[in-house]
């Protein structure tokens, strides 16, 4: 019987009541009395020198309060980068300045040049069009390898080159890896592009800055996944506002997918301008602006080599990646191709030797940072593609080749610095094969062939490092922040609870699932637990939501705080019932004394905490409120096996997805309905990357895909009904809930399934196509088929 409440129940989401009736409160729904509006003038060239900006006409336009350019930000800090990578030669990465408004040069299409604040949004837009910038166009660098060539135009004149860093990992293994590759019985080599994507949460970014003269306090309402991080970065590094004078509120947020982690210029601008003008200042991004100002994702160019011995055991992996940083370093950009990518190259396999080199490159494009999965999709894609290719070259079953090389004993220390605590890769693979009826595939392929279609089946595994945390570890790896999480549990006198969490929900349903956990621990109704998030004024310092960390890290903090609550409540109960605290049990919201019929309700004890007439005041304080910070000692390692079945029309190259199946191991699951929904969404984004989505620049750096007319977002008819399963559960060994995280799995595991399936289909039709770069559009598939005829 499925549970009907508490941990493990598919409780319906409480958030839905407001979202389904138009009562959500997103940032753009917030209007502060007296607010003015800002419009940014953005560069329409990829690279240029700013010789002057004539703002005089704009300043005279109706409603205009002020026009800002870079000179108004003298003494104000630039946008900081939160992660430092050290190159092979021991030097720190090259870190360019990132001004709020372009200073001296524009470096990508969309780089903000000037900002107009006016009474209405329309007046601000009108006036922005009247600004006349004098920009001398410079040659742009778009291709990464061209950007590193001798004599290439430099994105930043004060850096020595366009190379941000040159990272080797694990550098000590390099010689041994080179030797193993040289001596291998077989080496499969694959060169590929992991295509640039745009996260595209449906809610565009919004910022509203406000300033209170009476208290000298600034408030920023913003579309963020981590309001405390924004407060720290913007306060300490950009505007110099101490945290106690700065409040950041991220209310209902309409999706994030990584791109709302980062601190953006528009947030700092609105906060700054509100104080300058003594007026609230609001900015609402258009979708076109979002395409050229939200941090992009992926954009790796990679060569991977897989070495095998004569028995098809993996002996080494060697990988060379060029990672596009874009024109500036976004908040966490340097970490994505390195620590979120290099550390996952072992995948689910016991490859003893791994070396990867990553060259991060500045180009005249929008900055690139974490997008759903962040580094782990890139690692998974290249690894699972090269394994499939190796199986084809060796003439062995790709599933058997994987199984032969699976890690089977845990804990397992990989050669790339991480230790998997637990897993069962055979278990998820077995489950997957049952889900997809692999045995029936040959017959299905025959049916497709009879209809003139090519059918393919792609299968792969994935592993990811989630619960992004251990502060000491990430500190050693270059993070300039800690990555714990926090929770304050406040019990009210009449027994209801408010849990204030540093995590942030922007679609994940924390208000429901977090309440399930706390209610389950105490044994009360979920409706008695309220989850508060998204406001630095009423939540403890926390690092926010990304990297599938909220339940594993934030949930664990909440468990720790609730444990403190329960321990104190038991002391109160023991006093009231005149028993030893050790003999008190709490179950179903009732305190009992072991071996007696004494009993107290939860509400009796919480009331006593606030009305301490009969209370052990000499031992404990009144009140019932506890805070916990949780900093785990390892990442979590969700893993699984995925499969995709496709049909390719050889006349057109069009790929139809007939089935997409995911067998995941997320450890324990709190709300299966929500977990499945997370996987569905990830699968759609992975399929989108594999078949549809591509952020395209031309050679001059013009952004060709800057609207939904040009960037192919997955639509309902592009997607199949998914098959998902999370019944293989090896609980995480080091957090109190035994959970691993589920938010990114679908986007990590699915792209190789799709591409493996299409290659399988084409090969079955006699087309010797080894690889096609994503997205596998009809034109690309048709061209590859016909080139290989």
- Which residues contribute to the site for other proteins (CB under 8 A)? 12-13, 15-26, 28-29, 31, 122, 200-204, 252-255, 257, 284, 286-288, 434-437, 440, 444, 506-509, 645, 658-659, 673-674, 676-677, 680-685, 707-709, 713-717, 719-723, 746
Give whichever of 321 and 508 is closer to other proteins, judged by the CB atom: 508
Give whichever of 434 and 788 is closer to other proteins, judged by the CB atom: 434
Tell me the closest approach of the beta carbon of residue 642 to other proteins, in angstroms.
14
What region, left, alpha or beta, does residue 184 occupy, with left being phi > 0 and alpha being psi -120 to 50 degrees?
A: beta
Tell me the closest approach of the beta carbon of residue 26 to other proteins, in angstroms.
7
CA-to-CA distance for 458 and 622, rounded, in angstroms? 61
Tell me the closest approach of the beta carbon of residue 508 to other proteins, in angstroms.
7
**Peptide bond preceding 775 in cis form (omega within 30 of 0):** yes
DSSP codes joined into one string, 214-249: TTTEEEEEE--S-HHHHHHIIIIIII---GGGEEEE
3-state secondary structure of 26: strand
What region, left, alpha or beta, does residue 337 occupy, with left being phi > 0 and alpha being psi -120 to 50 degrees?
A: alpha
Cβ neighbors of 417 (< 8 A, separation 6 or more) are: 169, 170, 343
**Peptide bond preceding 170 in cis form (omega within 30 of 0):** yes
Give whichever of 280 and 423 is closer to other proteins, judged by the CB atom: 280
Give whichever of 649 and 718 is closer to other proteins, judged by the CB atom: 718
Tell me the closest approach of the beta carbon of residue 61 to other proteins, in angstroms.
16
Give whichever of 581 and 719 is closer to other proteins, judged by the CB atom: 719
Tell me the closest approach of the beta carbon of residue 290 to other proteins, in angstroms.
9
CA-to-CA distance for 711 and 265, rounded, in angstroms? 24
Tell me the closest approach of the beta carbon of residue 428 to other proteins, in angstroms.
15
Query: Beta partners for 246?
Result: 218
Tell me the closest approach of the beta carbon of residue 297 to other proteins, in angstroms.
13
CA-to-CA distance for 128 and 122, rounded, in angstroms? 10
Give whichever of 209 and 746 is closer to other proteins, judged by the CB atom: 746
Strands 584-587 and 206-212: unpaired
Tell me the closest approach of the beta carbon of residue 637 to other proteins, in angstroms.
24
Give whichever of 329 and 457 is closer to other proteins, judged by the CB atom: 457
Tell me the closest approach of the beta carbon of residue 456 to other proteins, in angstroms.
13
Tell me the closest approach of the beta carbon of residue 13 to other proteins, in angstroms.
7
Tell me the closest approach of the beta carbon of residue 252 to other proteins, in angstroms.
7
Give whichever of 24 and 168 is closer to other proteins, judged by the CB atom: 24
- Tell me the chain's radius of gyration from C-alpha atoms: 27
CA-to-CA distance for 756 and 400, rounded, in angstroms? 15
Closest alpha carbon to 453 in 757, 715, 771: 757
Give whichever of 555 and 681 is closer to other proteins, judged by the CB atom: 681
Give whichever of 187 and 208 is closer to other proteins, judged by the CB atom: 208
Nearest 5°: phi and psi at 46?
Answer: -75, -30
3-state secondary structure of 521: helix
Give whichever of 683 and 759 is closer to other proteins, judged by the CB atom: 683
Look up tokens 């984004």; give the residue.
Answer: 685
CA-to-CA distance for 765 and 760, rounded, in angstroms? 9
How far, in Å, are 169, 315, 379, 446, 731 from residue 406 at the CA level? 22, 13, 17, 32, 19
Buried b (16+ CB within 10 A) or exposed e, 682-693: bbbbbbbbbbbb
Query: Beta partners for 38?
Result: 117
Q: Where are the beta strands (DSSP E) in 497-583?
A: 497-501, 529-532
Give whichever of 414 and 685 is closer to other proteins, judged by the CB atom: 685
How many residues can be counted in the chain?
789
Give whichever of 126 and 299 is closer to other proteins, judged by the CB atom: 126
Cβ neighbors of 650 (< 8 A, separation 6 or more) are: 452, 453, 454, 765, 785
Give whichever of 18 and 145 is closer to other proteins, judged by the CB atom: 18
Closest alpha carbon to 354 in 227, 516, 230, 170: 170
Tell me the closest approach of the beta carbon of residue 418 to other proteins, in angstroms.
29
Q: Where are the beta strands (DSSP E) in 140-288?
A: 163-169, 186-194, 197-198, 206-212, 217-222, 246-249, 281-284
Nearest 5°: phi and psi at 530?
Answer: -110, 135
Tell me the closest approach of the beta carbon of residue 115 to other proteins, in angstroms.
19
Tell me the closest approach of the beta carbon of residue 693 to other proteins, in angstroms.
11
**Peptide bond preceding 411 in cis form (omega within 30 of 0):** yes
Give whichever of 200 and 293 is closer to other proteins, judged by the CB atom: 200
Tell me the closest approach of the beta carbon of residue 27 to other proteins, in angstroms.
11
């Amino acid at each position: 019987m499925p549970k009907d409440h508490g941990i493990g129940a598919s409780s319906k989401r409480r958030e839905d009541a407001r979202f389904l009736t138009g009562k959500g409160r997103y940032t753009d729904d917030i209007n502060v009395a007296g607010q003015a509006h800002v419009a940014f003038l953005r560069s329409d060239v990829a690279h240029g020198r700013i010789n002057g900006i004539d703002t005089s006409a704009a300043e005279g336009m109706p409603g205009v309060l002020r026009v800002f350019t870079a000179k108004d930000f003298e003494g104000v800090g630039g946008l900081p980068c939160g992660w430092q990578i050290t190159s092979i030669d021991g030097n720190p990465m090259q870190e360019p300045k990132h001004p709020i408004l372009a200073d001296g040069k524009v470096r990508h299409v969309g780089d903000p040049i000037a900002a107009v604040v006016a009474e209405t949004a329309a007046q601000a837009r009108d006036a922005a069009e009247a600004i006349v910038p004098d920009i001398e166009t410079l040659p742009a660098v778009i291709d990464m390898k061209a950007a590193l060539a001798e004599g290439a135009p430099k994105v930043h004149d004060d850096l020595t080159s366009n190379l941000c860093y040159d990272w080797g990992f694990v550098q000590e293994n390099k010689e041994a890896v080179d030797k193993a590759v040289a001596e291998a019985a077989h080496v499969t080599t694959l060169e590929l592009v992991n295509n640039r994507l745009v996260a595209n949460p449906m809610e565009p970014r919004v910022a509203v800055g406000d300033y209170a003269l009476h208290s000298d306090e600034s408030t920023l309402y913003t579309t963020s996944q981590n309001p405390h991080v924004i407060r720290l970065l913007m306060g300490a590094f950009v505007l110099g506002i101490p945290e106690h004078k700065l409040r950041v509120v991220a209310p209902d947020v309409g999706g994030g997918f990584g791109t709302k982690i980062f601190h953006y210029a528009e947030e700092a601008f609105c906060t700054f301008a509100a104080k300058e003008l003594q007026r609230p200042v609001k900015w609402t991004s258009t979708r076109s602006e979002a395409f050229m100002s939200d941090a992009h994702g992926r954009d790796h160019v990679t060569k991977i080599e897989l070495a095998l011995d004569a028995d098809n055991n993996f002996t080494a992996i060697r990988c060379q990646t060029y990672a596009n940083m874009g024109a500036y370093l976004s908040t966490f950009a340097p970490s994505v191709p390195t620590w979120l990518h290099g550390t996952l190259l072992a995948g689910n396999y016991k490859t003893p030797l791994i070396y990867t080199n990553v060259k991060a490159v500045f180009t005249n494009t929008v900055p690139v940072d974490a997008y759903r999965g962040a580094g782990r999709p890139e690692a998974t894609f290249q690894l699972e593609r090269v394994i499939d290719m190796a199986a084809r070259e060796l003439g062995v079953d790709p599933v058997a080749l994987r199984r032969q090389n699976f890690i089977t004993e845990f804990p397992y220390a990989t050669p790339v610095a991480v230790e998997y605590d637990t897993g069962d890769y055979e278990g998820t693979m077995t489950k997957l094969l049952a889900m997809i009826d692999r045995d029936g595939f040959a017959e299905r392929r025959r049916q497709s062939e009879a209809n003139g279609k090519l059918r393919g089946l792609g299968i792969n595994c994935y592993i990811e490092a989630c619960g992004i945390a251990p502060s000491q570890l990430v500190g050693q790896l270059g993070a300039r922040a800690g990555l714990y999480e926090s929770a304050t549990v406040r019990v009210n006198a009449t027994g209801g609870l408010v849990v204030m969490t540093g995590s942030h929900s922007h679609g994940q349903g924390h208000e429901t699932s977090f309440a399930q956990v706390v209610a389950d621990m105490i044994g009360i109704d979920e409706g008695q637990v309220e989850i508060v998030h998204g406001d630095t004024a009423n939540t403890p310092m926390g690092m926010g939501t990304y990297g599938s960390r909220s339940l594993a890290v934030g949930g664990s903090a909440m468990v720790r705080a609730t444990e403190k609550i329960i321990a104190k409540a038991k002391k109160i109960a023991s006093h009231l019932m005149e028993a030893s605290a050790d003999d008190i049990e709490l179950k179903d919201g009732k305190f009992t004394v072991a071996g007696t019929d004494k009993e107290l309700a939860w509400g009796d004890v919480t009331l006593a905490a606030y009305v301490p007439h009969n209370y052990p005041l000499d031992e404990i304080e009144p009140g019932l409120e506890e805070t916990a910070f949780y900093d785990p000692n390892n990442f979590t390692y969700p893993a699984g096996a995925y499969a995709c079945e496709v049909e390719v029309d050889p006349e057109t190259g069009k790929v139809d997805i007939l089935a997409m199946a995911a067998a995941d191991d997320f450890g324990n699951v709190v709300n299966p309905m929500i977990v499945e929904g997370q996987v569905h969404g990830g699968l759609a984004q992975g399929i989108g990357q594999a078949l549809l989505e591509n952020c395209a620049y031309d050679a001059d750096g013009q952004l060709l895909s800057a609207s939904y007319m040009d960037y192919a977002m997955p639509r309902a008819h592009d997607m199949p009904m998914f098959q998902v399963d999370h019944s293989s559960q090896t609980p995480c060994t080091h957090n109190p809930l035994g959970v691993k995280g589920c938010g990114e799995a679908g986007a990590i595991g699915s792209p190789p399934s799709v591409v493996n399936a299409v290659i399988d289909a084409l090969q079955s039709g006699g087309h010797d196509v080894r690889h096609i770069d994503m997205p596998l559009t009809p034109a690309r598939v048709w061209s590859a088929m016909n080139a290989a005829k």
